[in-house]
Amino acid sequence: MIITGATGMVGEGVLFECLLNNNVSEVLMINRKHYDLQHPKLKELIVPDFFQLGDFAEHIKNYDACFFCAGISSVGMKEEKYRRITYDTTLSFAKTLMAVNGNMVFTYVSGAHTDSSEKGRIMWARVKGKTENDLAKLGFKSEYNFRPGGMLPFEGQKNWNSAYKVIVKIMKVFAPKSVISMEELGKAMVNCATIGFGKNILEIKDIKELAKHSSTSSSQ
């Protein structure tokens, strides 16, 4: 499988689960900059500009799943720039993958309260809603959109803000249904690729449910 965002909080956590998960035989992480980790399952492809992924077509063939975990905070960002990074980049990347891997399962990490109507007042939620909607139209074997809330890290994660970790631990005490672990998120994403799920938008309760399932098939 292919994973993006390993140099960030969510992607790193999902990567850790993929490397531990027996249903994953190989992981190609596509990064803009090097991520310093060695593992028998792991390969790395440096792509400085995700809009130019087509230049690396020979390196991304024959993969059956992609976990798109790359993203950026919208804080202090104008909508045009945020849309360019969040929507345009993701759709361009996905279209390139689709062109060389027509039988691929694609999963996208958006966020809780993403706006599927694309018409709400919250800018980031509208942009991510459009991203989800348009990814679903591309023709992948299956396409899933994950909407996690607060997330607790794997032990040993490097790309994690300690203040955020404290906030999420407090959330877990007072609003446990709004918090998942990175292990749960990663397991649910692997299970989407191997056994599937009945709907393409997964809220926190769906992620928790899917993470409990066991899969007998393997994903590359």
Q: For the segment 31-52, what is each residue's pLDDT rounded down to a tens digit?
A: 999 999 999 999 999 999 999 9
Buried b (16+ CB within 10 A) or exposed e, 9-33: bbbbbbbbbbeebebbebbbbbbee
More confidently predicted of 156 and 94:
94
Which pLDDT score is estimated for 155? 79
Least confident of 18-22, 144-148, 177-181, 213-217: 213-217
- Over the stretch 150-207, which tens digit does the pLDDT of each residue have? 888 887 778 777 666 677 777 776 677 778 899 999 999 999 999 999 999 999 999 9
Which pLDDT score is estimated for 42? 98
Across 115-126, average pLDDT: 95
Q: What is the pTM of this model?
A: 0.90
> Contact, 141 vs 104, CB < 8 A?
yes
Which pLDDT score is estimated for 217? 41
- Over the stretch 56-66, which tens digit does the pLDDT of each residue have? 999 999 999 99
Percent of residues, the chain, with pLDDT higher than 70: 93
Across 118-132, average pLDDT: 96
Q: Given pLDDT bands bounded at 50, 70 and 90, which one contains residue 54?
A: very high
Which pLDDT score is estimated for 214? 66
Is residue 84's pLDDT more than 80?
A: yes
Which pLDDT score is estimated for 59? 96
Q: Specify the amino acid at residue 182.
A: M
Which pLDDT score is estimated for 142? 97
Is residue 216's pLDDT more than 80?
A: no
